[in-house]
Amino acid sequence: MLLTVGDSFTVKRFPDDIPWPEMLSKEMNLNLVNRSHEGMSNQYIFRNFVQEIVTNPNITHCVIGLSNWNRLEVGVNEGVQYDHVSTNTKTLISHSPDPELDASKKINPDLEAEKIYKLYFNYKYYLDTTLTFIKIMIDLSKLYNINLVITQLVKPFPFGALGKRTAEKEEALSYLQGHQFLKTIDTNYIKCFDFNCENLLCIIINDNDLWYKWTGHYVKKHGDKQCMGYHDQMGERFKSEFDLHPSYYGHEIITKSLLGCF
């Protein structure tokens, strides 16, 4: 059985959507458990990975589609669910274009919390925690005898413009290059993206990284066939807003890339 855990790049987003987990499980002739959810963080991914491999002895293969590393998962004061599509958490991120408005252009109900999140944002916290999650998931996959692939389908650490050097990025680079955690991770499990410091911090652009295909930078240079673009599959939002999420063709690209990893 194949387990996939990730965010909106991995979840089935609308009824007719055929995301890469469904394609991959078909190609691999494995039943699928997809514990992904729109907008989730790497903490969500970590805890759902743990819960599924511990409770489901049929899992033999797993693909983790890491989210942005700077997402913070918090609870909400409603909802009582432990299942994998639990929506009783919220993810705060630091790169929303307009914090005053939410995705539907309505007043953001979490504005105050997001302001505090940004005020005290510390990228080292997210580097430390995500590297820990990656290391522990690799160790657990060995213990539970699971063929694990960890990939990155969205920008790893999207602070600042892609491919541009800034003082903050240089400082982060220096921190990451000396990071003890980075040295202990078995990179044989990391697939379809280059696990080096400059790449993780989006300081350089690596054309071979899978996630790069779903960035505005790539679309401007190479076209948008791999993206959803403008559509009405999810209500009004993407009729006027370009959707960088994978199209059917995009999911085929991801599937083909991941097939070669097992």
Partner 1 sequence: MMLPNVSLAGPKGWYNFSNSKILRDLHTLDLSICKHIDVYFTTFDTFELMTNLDPDFEKGIITVKHYPRIHDVKDGSEWSFFYDEHIKTNTKLHLKYEETGSSYRKKYFSILDKYYNPHFVINRDLAIIKSIIDILRYNNVSCKFNRPWKKVYIPDLCDWFDTGDHNDLILQHPLSYILKEIPRTTNASNSR
29 binds partner 1 (CB under 8 A): no
107, 209, 120: which is closest to 157 by C-alpha? Answer: 209
94 binds partner 1 (CB under 8 A): no
218, 210, 178, 174: which is closest to 192 by C-alpha? Answer: 210
DSSP string of 137-148, one letter each residue: HHHHHHHTT-EE
Residue 196's identity, in one-letter code, is N
> x-or-dash pattern for partner 1, window 175-204, by CB under 8 A?
-----xx--x--------------------
- Candidate list 22, 28, 90, 194; residue touching partner 1; CB under 8 A: 90
What part of residues 135-174 is at the interface with partner 1 (CB under 8 A)? 135-136, 139-140, 142-143, 171
CA dist., res. 182 & res. 173, Å (int): 12
CA dist., res. 134 & res. 28, Å (int): 24
Residue (133 or 214) nearer to partner 1, CB = 133
What part of residues 43-62 is at the interface with partner 1 (CB under 8 A)? 43, 46-47, 50-51, 54-55
Residue found by looking up tokens 């980075």 in the block: 182
CA dist., res. 104 & res. 33, Å (int): 30
Neighbour tally for 69: CB within 10 Å = 24
Residue (171 or 241) nearer to partner 1, CB = 171
Q: Which residues bind partner 1 (CB under 8 A)?
A: 43, 46-47, 50-51, 54-55, 73-82, 86, 88-90, 110, 112-113, 116-117, 119-122, 124-125, 128-129, 131-132, 135-136, 139-140, 142-143, 171, 180-181, 184
